[in-house]
A = this chain, B = another copy of it.
Amino acid sequence: MEELPSAKRARPVTINDIAALTGVAPSTVSRALSKPGRVNHATRERIEAAARELNYVPNTQARALSSGRTGTIAVLVSAITNPFYFGIIRGTQQQLKAAGYAQLLIDTEDSGELEAAMLHKMRRSLDGAILAASRLSDRALAALATEIPLVTINRNVRGVQSVIIDTPAGIGQAVEHLVSLGHRDLIYVSGPQSSWPNEARWQALRSSAARHGVQARRAGPFPAERPSGSAAADAVVNTKATACIVFNDLLAIGMLTRLRERGVRVPGDISIVGCDDIFGADFCHPTLTTLTAPIEQAGRVSVSMLLSLLTDRLPDQNQRRCVVLPTHLTVRESSGPIA
């Protein structure tokens, strides 16, 4: 059995092996590999060569244990079922990988307790967390933000950095669109009450409707899931309204299915506008008029913010930052002139 030098040791390569090979102290190896300027250029080259030769891979756990930095960011979503989060995850994934961080994906199952418990349990093994659609109270969030670097998405709390997708501003466009098509009676199909954007969207719709002198009513709340679309559709039909704006596309697509079953024509009998422009909004039947949100960008931006928070360490200056991303109305087939 001839064994290559590299195969001889089943035990993984450590900085000590590199130190032994190059004749320097382990500490020097550590510095050469992680603090570029701290060692002589020549020795550093030698060490890097040796590391390459030995096929050295640093041990993340050990590094984390002594330095406190884990190189891991958690991304919490409230329900992986929802395609909206896929976009977020895609965005965070891209940025995190580019920055050399690992992404820990956590589903909080729409439960604030689970969210808090998870975060608390993992806070020592994370460098930071991104909360997409947190169900936590403002106080709980602010408290958590002192324990661990945090960025929230679609949730505005003092003292916590955040990325806000400005769907409420887009609602104005949607209302104008519907009003110009002749609609005078708008229904807001409400999502979960515990959702922060839900409330914001309703308020935006109400004030916008008032500005245009049209009626605004509210149906729901409904869970933000496709099956709930049936109940939502029935509720809306019952109001005799001619147009509705729906909390999100998932629910709106569910409604479309139900309305088709019932023989209600869209947009002939009723116009439907969704929010988010998720996967599927452009190929459902009819295709969905919706407020297109820069979902993936939101994920990317949240990571950038979090990382700069980690490196800059400017507790006060940065603490208030809040990035607002604009949305726009994408008109498709589900909205049309009043019959």
Whether the Cβ atoms of A107 and B125 lie closer than 8 Å is no
Checking B12, B80, B121, B286 against A57 with a beta-carbon cut-off of 8 angstroms, the contacting residue is B121
Bound-state CA distance A184–B65 (Å) is: 65
Residues of B within 8 A of A290 (CB): none
Checking B57, B64, B103, B125 against A105 with a beta-carbon cut-off of 8 angstroms, the contacting residue is B103
Copies of this chain in the oligomer: 2
Q: Are A80 and B70 CB-contacts (below 8 A) given A59-B124, A61-B61, A122-B102?
A: no
Surface stretch bound by B, among A172-180, A204-212, A276-284, A309-317: A276-284
Q: Are A57 and B124 CB-contacts (below 8 A) given A80-B89, A86-B80, A89-B105?
A: yes
Whether the Cβ atoms of A104 and B107 lie closer than 8 Å is no
State which size class the interface on A falls in.
35 or more
Residues of B within 8 A of A59 (CB): 65, 124-125
- A residues touching B (Cβ–Cβ < 8 Å)? 12, 57, 59-62, 64-65, 70, 72, 80-81, 83, 86, 89-90, 93, 97, 102-107, 120-125, 253, 256-257, 279-280, 283-286
Bound-state CA distance A86–B84 (Å) is: 11
Bound-state CA distance A81–B299 (Å) is: 14
List 11 other contacts, CB 8 Å, given A61-B61, A61-B125, A72-B104.
A12-B124, A59-B125, A62-B65, A80-B93, A83-B83, A86-B86, A89-B105, A102-B122, A103-B104, A253-B283, A285-B285
Bound-state CA distance A93–B114 (Å) is: 14
Bound-state CA distance A285–B122 (Å) is: 44
Q: How many Å from the CB of A264 to the closest CB on chain B?
A: 16
